[in-house]
Amino acid sequence: MNKKRKVKLTGKEKSELLGEGVVTIVLLLLLNLSLVILLNLALLQNQDLIDGIWIIKQAISISSNWNLYSWQNIFIGFMAVVDFIVLYWRLIRRYHQMQMRHVITELHYIAEGNFDHRIDFYVKTDLQKVIDSINSLVDSTVKAMQEERQIEQSKDDLVTNVSHDIRTPLTSIIGYLGLLHSGSVKSEEDARKYINIAYVKANQMKALADDLFEYTTVRQGPTKLALAPLHLNSMLEQLAASFELEAEKKNVTITATVTPKELTIDADAEQLGRVFNNLLSNALKYGKGATEINLIARKTGTNEVEIVVANNGQKIESSAVNKVFERFYRVETSRSVETGGTGLGLAITKGIVESHQGNIHVTSDDDMTRFIIHLPIKQNESEKVEKHSEKNR
């Protein structure tokens, strides 16, 4: 924690305080003097007052040795205490005003554009609450500015990545179409080969455009979900069946196990289908040497399910495990070129899972690579209402 200091008074303020003290003392002395004179005059001229004091003195049985001067002493003592209190009150009041002035100066400094400036002194009055509020405002402003900067940076990265990923296939397409266009292709076989390459590259660009669209849609948040009860066993079995042919070609068996069998969750079937499609096709594409892919769903809490997509293929290096969900991240560029990925698949997957108020992570070792998803069984009521009204619009 920062070491806080008290308000540091300037030389001018110190002399102001000193001046205030001197003026107050002089005024108080004059007041005291006039009060003593007035009292003396009153006592000398008024016998009834002397008698009155005498009676009071007797009633509270103070020593008879006391004379009028002792009463004066008491009065002077009393006045000295009052004077001290008044002096202290005036000085402290002025000191508090100076503290306030310091806070205002700091506020002006912040308002001039120094939004990350915190007030680093403390005071012992209620003004501290104001200082604390200003400081927390500064903290949240700094946080918001950092987030803004990150978003800006992330947008720049997105543009850089997208332009790079578009430029690479586009350069090939232009190159091969250029050859065809200039008529410098020697044989029909070559021409077919070039057209084929251009076609594959154009498809790569389309996949990127589709993924980008999907990615930006997912990032728009949970209001885009069309929630309905989803029977997990049916969905996972359907998915396993749709990948069966591809899996057979690679000698991979896909199994789906759901416990309990009737496990049903609130989800957007289309979106969640996309999640498992991504994970399954990744397991087939990247899980080199895998012989099995297991889809396992089970109830892990009163309102939680865990769904695991596991394969026993080549592991993801530990340095890459934390990065695979980053957009455009690909473990190996060469491999991605070969597999035609955009590096957006897992970013989209994560976005969809999070929009369902869930989370996803990956573990990978020599035995298994597991993508583990946790989802609530029942979605937040407010979201359902929101979705319902959106559907009815």
Positions touching ligand ADP (CB under 6 A) are 278, 282-283, 286-287, 311, 316, 324, 329-331, 336, 341-347, 369
- CA dist 235 and 223 (Å) reads 23
Residue linked to tokens 């389309």: 206
Query: Min. distance of Cβ 276 from ligand ADP in angstroms?
Result: 12
Q: 3-state DSSP call for residue 380?
A: coil
The least distance separating ligand ADP from the CB of residue 317, rounded to whole angstroms, comes to: 9
CB nearer to ligand ADP: give 131 or 348. 348
The answer for 334, left when phi > 0, alpha when psi is -120 to 50, beta otherwise, is alpha
> Which of 141, 291 has the CB closer to ligand ADP?
291
The closest residue (CB) to ligand ADP is 341
Between 276 and 286, name the residue whose CB sits nearer to ligand ADP. Answer: 286
Shorter beta-carbon distance to ligand ADP: residue 176 or 276: 276
Report in angstroms how near the CB of residue 286 gets to ligand ADP at its nearest: 3
| C-alpha distance from residue 228 to each of 111, 205, 224, 374 (Å) | 50, 33, 13, 18
Which lies closer to ligand ADP via its Cβ, residue 222 or residue 345? Answer: 345
Q: Tell me the H-state helices in 46-126.
A: 47-59, 68-111
CB of residue 341 to ligand ADP, shortest distance in Å:
2
Cβ-based nearer residue to ligand ADP, 292 or 386: 292
Q: Burial-class residue 37 by CB neighbours within 10 Å (0-12, 13-18, 19+).
A: exposed
Helices then strands, each counted (H, E), the chain: 12, 9
CA end-to-end span of the chain, whole Å?
52
Question: Between residues 225 and 284, which has the closer beta carbon with respect to ligand ADP?
Answer: 284
Output DSSP code: residue 222.
G
Residue pair 360/350 in contact (Cβ under 8 Å)? The answer is yes
Q: How far is the CB of 236 from ligand ADP (least distance, A)?
A: 16
> Closest separation between CB of residue 256 and ligand ADP, Å?
17
Q: Minimum CB separation from ligand ADP for residue 363, in Å?
A: 11
d(CA 338, CA 329): 15
Residue with structure tokens 């596991």?
310
